[in-house]
Each structure stands twice: as structure tokens, then as C-alpha cells.
Amino acid sequence: MTADIFDRTRLLVGEAAMGRLGATRVIVFGVGGVGSWCAESLVRSGICHLTIVDADMVNITNVNRQLMATTATVGREKVEVMRERLLQINPAAHITAIHQLYNADSADQFLLDEYDYVVDAIDSLKDKALLILRATASRATLFSSMGAALKMDPSRIRVSEFWRVEGDPLARCLRRKFKGQGAFPGRKFLCVYSDERLTNHGQPAVDEGPALYRKVQTNGTIAHITAIFGLTLASLVIRDVVG
């Protein structure tokens, strides 16, 4: 049965590529609105060695956009609910769920050189910047998500090299942070982003400066945008392996 799961994928990419996908090791940091869809797409496409990292519990406000979030899973660890779902898709997959925040205190626990790909779907500016620095100093290939909130138009979602991303406040803040601390990514990496910027209803507009990502800021989000961000990240991994 497990082999049959990938029959249609095998027809598209070939037997050799399926072997490479099965042997590829991926770690996804953040399994929220973007990372959850990325993780599922990876497993449905043949990735059999996946580590998912997130410190959050499922909240009722996650239900509108996060794959594992339902009214039945509220209050549970996101990574555990996601792991259960992924194993229902492919029981033979090796899914490691780490219920932990990636930050300066925990970063050394993650041996990024053990992975072929690192997927960054972290929201926090400082933690995201740290992961980018660590990942681009490792042997792994990094793909990163910029901000997916305050957007409605999927046709404006793009992929570009980090320093060429335009119109995204999070990318702008990251570049300022790297320049301010004098520490830069070790190599180029691709990002998923959108230059669309809507505003929250009933709340004043927030400046696009670094303050937007220094504090907790609740922004409107919707499933078709976060899902496309996540699926696009997964496509970058799959196409790189297959190609």
C-alpha cells in the first residue's frame, strides 16, 4: 500500500527521483499557517525523513488557516497533531516532532548539517535571522518564507533570492538587522514572498519599520495565501531534489 501512495508521483518524476526523495532529509521550522502545508506536501510527494519544529499549541484562532488545526485539536501540541496526520498519509515515513522554540538558547541543539534542506517558516524576526545565519553556514539548502499575513491575491506570490525580494516588510527588516549587526547569510537563498500589503480592519495601519516584527502583532491571514506559501516552499525542495 505504501508503494501505491506514490504511483502518480512516480509517473511524473521517475523511479530514480523517487529514490532520491525517499532518502532526502528535511527539517521544517514552524508548522503554522505556512509550515503545516509545506510539511504535508513534502510527505505526500515522497519525502520520508522529516523533522518538524514548533513550540506552540493549537489555538482556536489557528483553525482558519493551519492544516492540523480543527476544533477537535485545540489545546494539543501542533507538532504532535501534525506528526499523527503525516503518518496517516505515509505510515512508513520517519517523522520527528520537536515541541520546542528555535532561538539563541536552543539553536545549538539542531545539527543542521545532518539535513539536506532547511525550511524556515518562523515568524519571530530575531529567531528567523538566527536560523538564516545558521542554515546558510551549514551544508543544507535553505528555503525561507517571508510574511504571509495581510494578503489576499495569490497571483502576487513570488519566489526570489533574499536580497532581491521587494515589497515585503519582513525581508526589509531582516536585511536591516543583518546590516546592523554586521553578520550576513553565508550564501544566497530563495524566499517565498508577496508584495501585497493590506491593512487590518478596525485597527490602525502599522509602520513597515522594524517595530512591526519586534513585538507581537496580530495581523489578518487567510488559508489560500498561507497554503500557497507553504506549498511553494515544498515545491522548491521537491524540484531541487528531482532536478
Q: Quick one: how far is CA 201 from the chain centroid?
A: 26
For the record, the C-alpha cell of 122 comes out as: 518562523
For residue 12, count CB atoms less than 10 angstroms from its CB and return exposed for 0-12, middle for 13-18, buried for 19 or more: exposed
pTM of the shown model: 0.93
Distance between CA atoms of 166 and 184, rounded to whole angstroms? 18
pLDDT per residue of the chain (243 residues) written in tens, 0 to 9: 566 899 999 999 999 999 999 999 999 999 999 999 999 999 999 999 999 999 999 999 999 999 999 999 999 999 999 999 999 999 999 999 999 999 999 999 999 999 999 999 999 999 999 999 999 999 999 999 999 999 999 999 999 999 999 999 999 999 999 999 999 999 999 999 999 999 998 655 544 444 444 444 689 999 999 999 999 999 999 999 999
| Helix%, strand%, coil% for the chain, nearest 5 | 45, 15, 40
